[in-house]
Structure 1
Amino acid sequence: MTTTSDLGDLDAWRALPAVQQPEWDDPEEVRAVTAELAKAPPLVFAGECDQLKERLAEVARGEAFVLQGGDCAETFAGSTADAVRNKLKTLLQMAVVLTYAGSVPVVKIGRMAGQFAKPRSKPVEVRDGVTLPSYRGDAVNGAEFTPEARRSDPRRLLQAYHCSAVTLNLCRAFTKGGYADLRQVHAWNQDFVASSPAGQRYERLAGEIDRALAFMKACGADPEEFHSVEFYSSHEALLLEYERALTRIDSRTGLPYDVSAHFLWIGERTRALDGAHVEFASRIRNPIGVKLGPTTTPDDALALIERLNPDGEPGRLTFITRMGAGRIREVLPPLVEKVSQSGGPVVWMCDPMHGNTFEAPSGHKTRRFDDVLDEVAGFFEVHRSLGTHPGGIHIEFTGDDVTECVGGGQEIVEEDLHQRYETACDPRLNRSQSLDLAFIVAEMYRGSQ
């Protein structure tokens, strides 16, 4: 079992290459901000992280499914009660569809309460001959194309912390205070059912759930699980100064946990074995995810297991594959085979968003809903053929009626993208597309059992 001495120096990452980090102007200002963060109360608790690890261990054993989703990049302006409720509502609706139509327990993880930073493919952006630093998320700089906004400002890390706290408080209130009660299943849909084919289909399922609940109550059964849900937060552990400042030693075990979120993942651009991000993640005891793109080799996957889960702890490590619809059936099988042969208890999740992005003629980044579906279908096909468990999906969505991805039941076309293109970074599924996806994934899951 891992001990404190095994975990060693929590600052060992500082001696290694740390890619995708902001270029802060004033190191002293960074030190002052991180010192303030280091004294701040935890956003989550170590016991909650351990509980999620237990739930993910159930997924690794093939007993449950993970739904992880939310914004590509949260914004400070979006940390409002309405925005948080709409995202949470969509996640709950998707989870209900997967639980009832897929006949599987669903672990619910939001890409929420901390997803304020984004890796970028280019360090600068050029517009009309003007070159400025790229927007790296509200935790680093502003989206406005001005020198003032694009300056990397460490004080924004404090604002990211406070917005995360607000969002988590709202999520806890909604999920524990009656809003997540299954008897609310129709109320979540009132603003949506008339205008959306997905909403109408969901309403029919809600009617079935109502009848099932009435039957159970008549039989004298009214489980507490029907009145609230377990909800966990997650984000990419990108800004290492922020994550290190929010790492605490758990009083129960003497082990370090990053209390900025329950679940943290390492991105495709930052998963180098000799890099700072993998080193940092190896020291904390949260459940950890790693994004695996199409260049990942089976040996890469085994090496990541050895670095991040040497004890083979169930629920500790999740591989989130992001291959692209055209590559997943070719690239994923050797990874799954090699990992399965190693005996490592890994959760396999599918991110069908990041490998399917393209630029429309209008200049908008977008994704085709059919490509998203095809990558998920490939994910299920591979796992079905190998006899392994397709553990979950990781998607970018919003609870709003945006027009950022083309296709879906409402048939958004490329000419519609400008109407409500509101993302701070990458295109997201809207609420209708998210529900469409949930129904189809539920059918795929049942077919894979």
Structure 2
Amino acid sequence: MTVEIPTLAELHALGAAQQPTYPDAGAVQAAVDKLRTMPPLVFAGECDDLKQRIAAVTRGEAFILQGGDCAETLAGVSADNVRAKLRVLLQMAVVLTYAASVPVVKIGRLAGQYAKPRSNDTETREGITLPAYRGDAVNGYDFTPESRIPDPQRLVDVYNASAATLNLIRAFVTGGYADLRQVHTWNQDFVRDSPFAAKYEVLAGEIDRAMSFMQAIGVADPDEFHRVDFHSSHEALVLEYEHALTRIDSRTDEPYDVSGHFIWIGERTRQIGGAHVELMARIKNPIGVKLGPSTTPDDAIALAARLNPANEPGRLTFITRFGAGKIRAGLPPILEKVSAEGLNVAWITDPMHGNTFEAPSGYKTRNFDDVLDEVQGFFDVHRAVGTWPGGLHVELTGDNVTECLGGGEQLTDADLAHRYESVCDPRLNRVQSLEMAFLVADMLRKA
């Protein structure tokens, strides 16, 4: 029996947080109607495949690496940009796979991450108040009245940009760019040039010897070296976009959100009776929910009951984002209760969003040491409770931006202005991302 999907009007009647206020209802309907005619961006079978991979994470048999831009931009859809993000994710995955001795499920925070929740509906500069920038899916970044008007045509633009991004990624991961031997060579170059080369070269050397051994005895399948599995993800935020791309799968007569393989509900939109939880409860994709410091153990249990009533492994992932100073106290009671209830949940740490602050220079930033400390706290808590620390969710870029403090490059507040390019939250740059992978590898070996 096909699951009924609420109408957009029914969803909005539930109370839909973080939604744009469109001035023209007719234009919204035209954009939604257009999106309903467009082909799926991903296929239901691919979502099922990812669900099975995440099910292995719930059993402690795999690890998730999820990363990409804080907020994608339409102007940023280029081959160089996509390739750079994919490259750093592949480099990180090789290190984590070897350290964990389990498969790493690779999920890009891309091809759909165009909308962002905001703390305030408006922004004021020099006495002028305008609607807040909510991502390129909603309005423009330029601080002008024209740019900040929510425009539903942008949802169609986002669809087209996401289609182009996915097409390029599929070509990269099947066409040789993701070849394991090449990716390992990139990591060797990073280690050689790193100020912490001595710390990383031992692990890099072990990987090199393992690959040489596999090739020497003939157990390395050239095809397995040549290509990787890669899935897309984004926060399901703008209801018009997600609803229009929810389709009935011809194989199963079940609804899937074909805007991405893995979609998540944010900390600001996880109200148990709200529109986002209602829509995500109906679809069959693997889904995630962000859990922050305000989450209680009962909140987590209620979300699991609503979103995964059959307790299906791989269906539900909790993405924790407490902050380095709060995770060691805040996560244990939630983890203990979910575990005691026997719930099949994959656990991922998002060490970025709880550690954001404004630097003296005025830039929004994060300190690399805080990010790393939250990851360490995540591993410490799981080790104490006896559960599996299942993954890492980071905002990153393959470019040498200067948006987060610290790391091997020892970026300071004075460096932020050099290449601060994010339109929303600060991202780890390529060097910081790879440092994170090598440091998390040490944690995985002790997990």
Measured against the shorter chain, the TM-score band is: over 0.9
Query: C-alpha separation between the residues in 1 aligned to 2:25 and 2:198?
Result: 55
Contact 2:6–2:279 under 8 Å retained in 1: no
Instruction: Name the counterpart of 1:244.
Output: 243
Judged with a 3 Å threshold, the aligned counterparts in structure 2 of structure 1 residues 321 and 136 are, in CA distance, closer, same or farther, namely same
Query: C-alpha separation between the residues in 1 aligned to 2:203 and 2:80?
Result: 25
Judged with a 3 Å threshold, the aligned counterparts in structure 2 of structure 1 residues 422 and 190 are, in CA distance, closer, same or farther, namely farther
Counterpart of 1:181 (choices 157, 179, 182) is 179
Instruction: Name the counterpart of 2:11.
Output: 13
Query: C-alpha separation between the residues in 2 aligned to 1:64 and 1:189?
Result: 22
Counterpart of 2:89 (choices 79, 88, 91) is 91
Judged with a 3 Å threshold, the aligned counterparts in structure 2 of structure 1 residues 389 and 190 are, in CA distance, closer, same or farther, namely closer
1:405, CA displacement in angstroms?
A: 0.6
Instruction: Name the counterpart of 1:23.
Output: 21
AA aligned opposite 1:126: T
Contact 2:66–2:106 under 8 Å retained in 1: yes
Q: Could you list the per-position Cα deviations for residues 162-192 of structure 1 after superposition, in whole angstroms to 9, with x for gaps in the alignment? A: 1101111111111111111112125535885
1:14, CA displacement in angstroms?
A: 3.3
When normalised by structure 1's length, the TM-score is: 0.96
Instruction: Name the counterpart of 2:323.
Output: 324
Contact 1:352–1:376 under 8 Å retained in 2: yes
Query: C-alpha separation between the residues in 1 aligned to 2:207 and 2:377?
Result: 30
SS at match of 1:4: coil
Query: C-alpha separation between the residues in 2 aligned to 1:55 and 1:206?
Result: 26
Query: C-alpha separation between the residues in 1 aligned to 2:199 and 2:114?
Result: 34
AA aligned opposite 1:165: A
Contact 1:357–1:366 under 8 Å retained in 2: yes
Q: Could you list the per-position Cα deviations for residues 234-277 of structure 1 after superposition, in whole angstroms to 9, with x for gaps in the alignment? A: 00000010000011100000000000000000000000011100
Query: C-alpha separation between the residues in 2 aligned to 1:176 and 1:278?
Result: 35
Instruction: Name the counterpart of 1:374.
Output: 373
Is the counterpart of residue 214 in structure 1 residue 198 in structure 2? no
Instruction: Name the counterpart of 1:105.
Output: 103
Contact 2:188–2:204 under 8 Å retained in 1: no
Judged with a 3 Å threshold, the aligned counterparts in structure 2 of structure 1 residues 135 and 9 are, in CA distance, closer, same or farther, namely closer
Alignment of 1:184-263 (within 5 A): 184-188=182-186, 195-197=193-195, 205=203, 208-223=206-221, 224-263=223-262
Is the counterpart of residue 139 in structure 1 residue 137 in structure 2? yes
Two-structure CA RMSD over aligned residues (Å): 1.7
Contact 1:297–1:335 under 8 Å retained in 2: yes
AA aligned opposite 1:156: R
AA aligned opposite 1:217: Q
SS at match of 2:268: helix
Instruction: Name the counterpart of 1:308.
Output: 307
Query: C-alpha separation between the residues in 2 aligned to 1:8 and 1:29?
Result: 23
Query: C-alpha separation between the residues in 2 aligned to 1:59 and 1:341?
Result: 18
Contact 2:58–2:346 under 8 Å retained in 1: yes
Q: Could you list the per-position Cα deviations for residues 257-303 of structure 1 after superposition, in whole angstroms to 9, with x for gaps in the alignment? A: 00000000000000001110000100100001000010100100000
Query: C-alpha separation between the residues in 1 aligned to 2:388 and 2:189?
Result: 36
Query: C-alpha separation between the residues in 2 aligned to 1:191 and 1:213?
Result: 16
Judged with a 3 Å threshold, the aligned counterparts in structure 2 of structure 1 residues 265 and 38 are, in CA distance, closer, same or farther, namely same
1:199, CA displacement in angstroms?
A: 7.6
Judged with a 3 Å threshold, the aligned counterparts in structure 2 of structure 1 residues 424 and 219 are, in CA distance, closer, same or farther, namely same
SS at match of 1:149: coil
Alignment of 1:53-132 (within 5 A): 53-132=51-130
When normalised by structure 2's length, the TM-score is: 0.96
SS at match of 2:107: strand
Q: Could you list the per-position Cα deviations for residues 40-84 of structure 1 after superposition, in whole angstroms to 9, with x for gaps in the alignment? A: 010000000000000000000000100001000000111100000
Query: C-alpha separation between the residues in 1 aligned to 2:81 and 2:288?
Result: 26
SS at match of 2:76: coil
Contact 2:328–2:377 under 8 Å retained in 1: yes
Q: Which runs of 5 or more structure 2 residues have no equivalent in the other structure?
A: none
Query: C-alpha separation between the residues in 2 aligned to 1:57 and 1:48?
Result: 14
Judged with a 3 Å threshold, the aligned counterparts in structure 2 of structure 1 residues 387 and 10 are, in CA distance, closer, same or farther, namely farther
Counterpart of 1:153 (choices 151, 154, 162) is 151
Runs of 4+ in structure 1 over 4 Å off: 189-195, 198-208
Query: C-alpha separation between the residues in 2 aligned to 1:189 and 1:86?
Result: 14
Instruction: Name the counterpart of 1:297.
Output: 296
Q: Which runs of 5 or more structure 1 residues have no equivalent in the other structure?
A: none
SS at match of 1:415: helix
